[in-house]
Amino acid sequence: MSKSDFKETRFPSFPEVASDSPIEIAAGQRWQVLCGDHRSWRIGVFSPEKSSAEECVELEKHTCPELFLLLDGRLTLVLARNREIVKLPLELGKPVLVRAPHAGFCPDGPHSGRALVVERDEFDTEYRPAADWLREQTLTIKAKE
């Protein structure tokens, strides 16, 4: 099994911004945290640089769910679910709550799609190769039989 990488996200996990004013979203960035509320939530914009599922060799899993909502362009999530890799294209106006190990890509080229992401302001993230997540799911399912 490959080595996992871990990242802790703790307060302050979001920038301070002026209330009641537009927040600038930077172009060409994979992840930009926009703002948040301590001990509650933070919001960011996700715009992957990858252009295909095959490029998503590492998946991440958080200790809390994340809500994804497509803002513009096309963006597909790659999920390790039920012992397989699943591609889930995001649709405008249809939020998706993600708990599975995941990554994402923009089929029309790097940073050509953007999703708003809502998550807790403090959590842990584990990064592993996709094959490791699938192997772990297989062992978990076998252990329940």
- The fold for domain 5-144 equals Jelly Rolls (2.60.120)
Q: How much is the pLDDT for 1?
A: 41
Residue ranges covered by each domain of the chain: 5-144
Extract the tokens encoding 115.
């999703």
Per-residue pLDDT of the chain (145 residues; tens, 9 = 90+): 456 798 999 888 899 998 999 999 999 999 999 999 999 999 999 999 999 999 999 999 999 999 999 999 999 999 999 889 999 999 999 999 999 999 999 999 999 999 999 999 999 999 999 989 988 765 444 443 3
Is the pTM of the predicted complex or chain greater than 0.95? no
Alpha carbons 53 and 87: distance in angstroms, whole number: 7
Give me the pLDDT at residue 137, please.
63
Distance between CA atoms of residues 130 and 145, nearest Å: 24
β-bridge partners, 80: 85
DSSP structure string for 7-75: EEE-SS-S----TTS--PPPTT-SEEEEEEETTTEEEEEE--S--SGGG--EEEEESS-EEEEEEES--
Q: What is the pLDDT of residue 22?
A: 94
